[in-house]
Amino acid sequence: MLAQHSFLAFLMMSFPTSLIKKFRSDIEGDYRCIGDEPLVLVGLMGSGKSALGKRLSVALSLPFVDSDTLVEEEAGITIAEIFELAGEARFREMERRIILTTLEQGACILSTGGGAFCNPETRAAIKENATSIWIDSSPDTLLSRIGNPASRPLLATGDPLKILTKLRKERAADYGEADLYLRTGKQSHRVAMKKLLKLLTDAGHVERLLPDSTR
């Protein structure tokens, strides 16, 4: 299991200044999170969970956690290698444990793997301890963002577009249990972030801060 001090050290890692500047350029205004629950991004691979999650962490000054990254850190190998050597069941076990540990850390932005929210135990823990947002896109948009499908174990068994279409259909009911829903397309990160922050603000999870001169 990932040692507690190692996990906390990961949470304390910050983005390089150059990345923070890049992420800030996609954020309009200043915001703060209301409450101390994690914000958990769920959805299929390629939906933008990591890209939006990193920007959201900068916007709200909260730690960013990627469950896939933590699984690879714990295992010392890639997710594709975990699938090949130990199978999907072993990966899901590691993923579930790491997500449950993350939920105990308090406010953060957690990006989960595509199948994480489909695990009943993991989904129940997220629903009880966090606010979940389903980040959704069409299968062809997902595929355009993924890059090399060979790096994704679930896409290596056939036509990637057909597999993504099938996965979305199969997982829609599970993703639909998320607290909030955001549909993204081929728009810029700046547009997607504006939609995400508005969604969270309207739902009462985020507050936009006014400039000092207008308070």
pTM, 2 dp: 0.88
For residue 39, the cross-strand partners are 109, 131
CA atoms within 13 A on the CB side of 210: 4
Six token digits for residue 73: 């850190």
Cα separation of the two ends of the chain = 48
If you ran DSSP here, which 8-state letter would residue 1 be given?
A: -
Per-residue pLDDT of the chain (215 residues; tens, 9 = 90+): 444 445 544 544 568 889 999 999 999 999 999 989 999 999 999 899 999 999 999 999 999 999 998 899 888 998 888 988 988 889 889 999 999 999 998 899 999 999 999 999 999 999 999 999 999 999 999 888 887 777 777 787 788 899 999 999 999 999 999 999 999 988 899 999 999 999 999 999 999 997 754 44
